Amino acid sequence: MRKKRLLLLPLLVAPTLVWAQTPADSIAMADELDAESFVVSDFDIDDEAPTSQNASSVASFNDDMFLMKTNFRFGHSYYSPRHYDQGYRSTFVNGALINDAETGQFRFSSLFGGLSHATRGQQGLTAYEQNGLNYTDIGGGANLNLRASNYGAGSRLTLSLTNRNYIGRLQFTYASGITPKGWAFVVSAGGRYGEEGNAKGTYLKSAALFLGVEKKFNPHHSLALSLMASPTDQATASWTTEEAYWLANSHYYNPYWGYQNGKKRSSRVRKTFEPTAFLTWDWQINDRTKLTTTNIFRYAQYGQTYINRTNNAADPRPDYYHYMPSSVFKVYQVIPDEWQLHEWQNYVDFWRSSEENRQINWDKMYMINHNSVAEGGEAVYFLEESHNDQLAWNFATTFNKVVNLHYKYDLGLNFNHTTGMHYKTMNDLLGANYHTDTDRFAASDFGAYSNEAQNDLDNPNRRIGKGDKFGYNYNIYVNRAQLWTTNTYVVDKFSLILSANVGGTTIQREGKMRSGRSPLHSKGHSETAKFLHGGAKYQLGYKFDAHSQVNFSGGFEYRPPVANNAFIDPQIKNDFVNNLTNEMAFHLGLDYKFSYGRFDGMLKGYYTQFTNQVEQTQFFDDIKQKYSYLTMTGVEKEHYGVELALQYAFNTQFSIDFVGAIGEAKYKNNANAFITYDNADEVQWYDEIHGHDLQVITKGMRVGCTPLTSLSLGARYSIRGWFFEGRLNYYDRAYIYFSPYLRLSDVIPDVSPTLNEAGRYVYAITPEQLKYEGRTLLNLDGTVNRYVPKEQEKFKGAFMLDLSVGHFIRLHGGKTLSINLNLTNVTNNQNMVLRGREENRNDNTDKTGKTKQYDFGRNPKYMYAYPFNAFLNLNYRF
């Protein structure tokens, strides 16, 4: 009997060996390096970006050299793989999707910030390969295994010192390993602290705690419970204009802070706290069959402070355009008169004469409020906090089956219920006693105490004290269910992976306040939008020999719109965007990988087309003097490019590598547009000037703020526990976030032609005007010849040199100590623009084309790459 069992053993084990993922040790040293030393989230000074750091930046892609290398290299350039939005990347914990159901995205730092010990075992996931966990989106993703048994027995203490947005980090982790009784425990605690970050007026205070317990009941069943939270307070930095940077004489000028009683105080403090529980049941049914079920319960609390004011109050932002020297006269166009030069100089002198002059003046706001109180008035200035909280339940169950040597499949069911809670509270009345809950824009239009000005008609003119909810208050409910499968067939040199999913999503809003601007559509439940969606994808592989392989891949995906783009004015109204439908993504790929002795490489090509996307932006319309929502529908984009990774090892100690991604990500069509206003039921969907549906002239625009060209050349040398690494990175073809408003068909200024002698149209415009303002070129009969929108700015390409050195020491009793120093931007390049955005503001003051002196078109806001910075990591295992 025993002999028979032994004979059967290879048969049982063989499929497992065939299908086992190859746990290549390719990032072993990176692990010792401490992957988090490369994490952008610790580097990020920005708080207004639509995308954020993703989990996979520290994930391990065992079988994809390109993703493995770009993870570490390109993080600080805001490189986004294939330039997809973060919402196209899936982040799983124990196999359950944890992406935010309202935005589609996942903010790694909000949940896992400061817990690098607990989250270091990430598994990178590509879009097509069978991962045994879940259905991965087209941008790939990562899975975090937070089961207590996943952590090797022992303790670990890490101290990090840096000069980024914090100065110190301390982490301690203890893991029991699996005890003889089948228990496993892990506890990890840490904290990050920085009284002032690399940008003035910023700080970071964060604690983090992770607890895990797992019980293996028998070889078939185990149950794992993990709890984590990392409460974080962070004062953030702002993007601003080149003029403001010039006046402050620093590319790291931050206008968000000011002195109060001589102490620095930030106006933008972000508070995050996401206590989350993960409960996973693993059922190893037999050697070939497994069922994994995970529940995630997450209560996310996110708050962000802003200064607000009543109607008759000066804008407190020091870089508000009225306070800039270039608001005196058109500095880009005219030779100034004497008085203009004198006044311009006055502004310049004011900016430069004192740091306080270019920061927020808290004391003055207090004084104004005190004086208002003395007159019997209310707060003129106040600090409000906008909240985007969430209560979410994610459920995933995945069935894995290895049928035979040639076929295996996964089958899974996902469910998510999310309640998004959106409201604002009074954080600080700045010395006043109350604020009346009315809308200042509506008050201008309808009267200060009109019904329309009321934010809450059921409680008119309510006096708001500290901590009270006011302004807006609504919930968004999202339910999502998905059934999916992935199947892999291997026959000789061919492999075929087929995946498909089908699902349903519902979105609903519940208004908690009856707004005076929309009394019939603001309070109570909206209708429920329902979407049936799904998709399929494949990867066909052919292995030429033991050294090389080619894969063809492709697929399509119908995706529901994300909830935060689904409503035309979510803060007030229950109304959905018109013609809200699934968007569609169609994608193709080809990759070739090889490994010939010392020379390894991977070459990939891809093409992705998105259709029917919805994008929304909100802004204050200068001309209408109304807070506005601009929604683009029917957006089409295409992303394509090539990716290359090469590595040559001269010997076991010295290797060089190259990794590059050159792509394109642009809008294919002119999007349909409509505009709604906070204080009116009016919807503008028609371009009255040109007689057609309103459009945003997006054709040819690029996806913003991700370098479309990223190249990196690296060298690595290691000897006797030491390693040295250098990386020269080059980034280029990053474009600014373009303003949809400035490209509205009825906002781009018209120009009529004259006929020249040759009978051709001649337009009286300069190349400068065309570049910075755009023009609608008309025909002689006044019809549109073509739209030439304002040119989208491309940032200058730049090099960045990073160096790392580390030493690994084995101590007595199996203890180890590793010391790593990572130096970023060694050449101290302070002129590298990483990101920027145009403002949704028109240079025209009214419909007649009269212009302001300040030129918004030439004053976009930028963020620069950090100067030289260092990250020292001391890691002691015992």
Partner 1 sequence: MKTNIILLIAVVAGLAFTQTSCNKFDYSEPDTSHDVYTQDQVATGCNTTLAHIKGSYKTLLSAQNGFLQVEDDMIFDGYVCANDITGNLYQSIYVRKIEPDDDGNMVDNCIVIGINDNSLWTTYPVGTHVKVNLKNLYLGTYSYVPKVGMPYITSAGNTRLGGMAKFLAPKNIEVIGFNDKAPETVPIDIDDTWLSQNKTDPTFMYKWTPTLVRIRNVQLTGNYVTIEGKGQRRPVYAVYDDKDAGNGVNDSIWINNKPFCLRQSVLSSFSSDTIPQKNVDVIAVLSRYSDWQFSLRSNKDRSAAGADDGDVQYSDGTIDHK
Span 203-222, contacts to partner 1 by CB under 8 A: 203, 205-209
Residues 319-338 that bind partner 1 (CB under 8 A): 322-323, 328-329, 337
Exposure b/e, 567-587, CB count within 10 A at least 16 = b: bbbbbbbbbbbeebbbbbbbb
User: Can you say how many angstroms the Cα of residue 298 is from the centroid of all Cα atoms in its chain?
Assistant: 19
Report the site for partner 1 in 701-740 (rule: CB under 8 A): none
Say whether residue 547 binds partner 1 (CB under 8 A): no
Is 15 in contact with 405 (CB distance < 8 Å)? Answer: yes
Measured from the CB atom, is 699 or 852 closer to partner 1?
A: 852
Choices 139-147, 312-320, 391-399, 613-621 (CB under 8 A): range interacting with partner 1? 312-320
- Looking at residues 466 to 525 of the shown chain, list those that interact with partner 1 (rule: CB under 8 A): 519-520
Q: Give dist(CA 674, CA 682) in Å, integer.
A: 10
Report residue 437: phi and psi, to 5°: -80, 75
- If the CB atoms of residues 693 and 846 are measured against partner 1, the closer one turns out to be 846
Task: Name which position in 339, 494, 599, 620 contacts partner 1 (CB under 8 A).
Answer: 339
| Residue (370 or 462) nearer to partner 1, CB | 370
Task: Give phi and psi for 196, each to the nearest 5.
Answer: -150, 130
Shortest distance (Å) from residue 447 CB to partner 1? 3
Q: In this structure, is the dihedral angle defined by the CA atoms of residues 124, 128, 132 and 136, taken in order, positive or negative?
A: positive
Of the pair 109, 134, the CB lying nearest partner 1 is at 109
Nearer to partner 1, 266 or 414 (CB): 266
What tokens appear for 132 in the block? Answer: 């045994």
Choice between 46 and 343, CB closer to partner 1: 343
CB of 745 to partner 1, least distance (A): 22
Residues 168-207 vs partner 1: string with x where CB under 8 A? --xxx-x------------x-xxxxx---------x-xxx
Site for partner 1 in 149-168 (CB under 8 A): 155, 157
Considering the complex, what minimum distance in angstroms separates the CB of residue 45 from partner 1? 19
**Is-contact 862 833, C-beta < 8 A?**
yes
Alpha-carbon distance of 578 to 233, in angstroms, equals 38
306 binds partner 1 (CB under 8 A): no
Q: What phi, psi does 393 have (nearest 5°)?
A: -125, 120
Report how far residue 696's alpha carbon sits from residue 615's, in angstroms, rounded to the nearest whole number: 11
Q: 867: buried, middle or exposed (CB in 10 Å: 19+, 13-18, 0-12)?
A: middle
Nearer residue to partner 1 within complex by CB, 442 or 711 = 442
Distances (CA, A) of 630 to 470, 565, 742, 876: 24, 11, 11, 53
- Which of 267, 655 has the CB closer to partner 1? 267
Enter the tokens of residue 461.
């003119």
Minimum Å gap between C-beta 127 and partner 1 is 38
Q: Cα–Cα distance between 764 and 768 in angstroms, integer?
A: 12
**826-865 footprint of partner 1 as x/- string (CB under 8 A):** -------------------xx-x-xxxx------------
Q: How far apart are CA 678 and CA 401, in angstroms?
A: 53
CB of 872 to partner 1, least distance (A): 18
41, 232 Cβ separation under 8 angstroms:
no
Q: Which residues contact 661 (CB under 8 A, 6 or more apart)?
A: 66, 70, 74, 79, 81, 641, 642, 643, 644, 709, 710, 711
Say which DSSP state 50 is in.
S
Q: Which is nearer to partner 1, 232 or 824 (CB)?
A: 232
- Looking at beta carbons only, is 178 or 680 nearer to partner 1? 680
At closest approach, how far in Å is the CB of 192 from partner 1?
Answer: 8
Tokens of 94: 């124990």
Give the dihedral sign, CA 314/317/320/325: positive
Which residue lies nearer to partner 1 by CB, 36 or 102? 36
Interface with partner 1 (CB under 8 A), residue from 22, 218, 249, 261: 261
Nearest-angstrom CA–CA distance, 427 and 269: 11
Segment near partner 1 (CB under 8 A); pick from 282-290, 309-317, 567-575, 628-636: 309-317
| Nearer to partner 1 among residue 304 and residue 655 (C-beta) | 304
Render 267-294 in DSSP notation, one character per residue: S-EEEEE--EEEEEEEEEEETTEEEEEE
Smallest separation (angstroms) from partner 1 to the CB of 313: 5
**CA–CA separation, 617 vs 752, rounded Å?**
31
Q: Which residues between 579 and 618 bind partner 1 (CB under 8 A)? A: none
The reply to whether 343 sits near partner 1 by the rule CB under 8 A is: yes
Task: Give the C-alpha separation, 206 to 585, whole Å.
Answer: 38
In degrees, rounded to 5, the angle at the alpha carbon of residue 160 between the alpha carbons of residues 711 and 178 is 100
Quick one: which segment of 1-9, 255-263, 665-673, 781-789 binds partner 1 (CB under 8 A)?
A: 255-263
- Yes or no: say if 213 and 228 are a contact pair by the CB < 8 Å rule: no
Q: What is the C-alpha separation between 56 and 108, in angstroms, rounded?
A: 9
Q: Which of 16, 346, 578, 766 binds partner 1 (CB under 8 A)?
A: 346
Q: How near is the Cβ of 479 to partner 1 at its closest, in Å?
A: 33
Among 151, 278, 362, 864, interactor with partner 1 by CB under 8 A: 362
* Residue in the block written with tokens 């706290």: 273
Contacts to partner 1 from residues 662-691, by CB under 8 A: 680-681
Window contacting partner 1 (CB under 8 A); options: 215-223, 310-318, 615-623, 669-677: 310-318
The stretch near partner 1 (CB under 8 A) out of 98-106, 289-297, 369-377, 580-588 is: 369-377
**Min CB(362)–partner 1 separation in Å:** 7
Token pair of 703 as six digits:
């996806």
Residues 50-109 that bind partner 1 (CB under 8 A): none
Comparing CB distances to partner 1, the nearer of 428 and 468 is 428
CA angle 64, 65, 69 (to 5 degrees): 120
Closest CB to partner 1 among 56 and 308? 308
Closest CB 175 distance from partner 1, rounded Å? 10
Q: Least distance in Å: CB of 40 to partner 1?
A: 22
Residues 386-445 that bind partner 1 (CB under 8 A): 431, 443-445
**HSE-up (13 A, CA, CB side) for residue 263:** 3
Quick one: 662 exposed, middle or buried, by C-beta within 10 A (0-12, 13-18, 19+)?
A: middle
Nearer to partner 1, 193 or 407 (CB): 193
CB distance 543 to 523 below 8 Å? no
- Number of residues in the chain: 878
Among 183, 306, 350, 592, binds partner 1 (CB under 8 A): 350
User: Helix (H, G, I), strand (E, B), or coil: what is residue 772?
Assistant: helix
Please state the closest distance from residue 372 (CB atom) to partner 1, in A. Answer: 6
**CA–CA separation, 139 and 105 (whole Å):** 12
Contact yes or no for 426/381 (Cβ under 8 A)? no
Indicate the residue among 369 and 616 with the shorter CB distance to partner 1.
Answer: 369
**Number of residues this chain uses to bind partner 1 (CB under 8 A):** 76
Chosen residue from 260, 595, 709, 816 binding partner 1 by CB under 8 A = 260
> Of the two residues 263 and 812, which places its CB atom closer to partner 1 in the complex?
263
Least Cα distance to 240 among 355, 301, 324 occurs for 324
Considering only residues 219 to 238 of the shown chain, the ones binding partner 1 according to CB under 8 A are 231, 233
Residue 79 Cβ vs partner 1, minimum distance, rounded to whole Å: 31
Residue with smaller CB distance to partner 1, 80 or 206: 206
| Beta-bridge partners for 606 | 589, 641
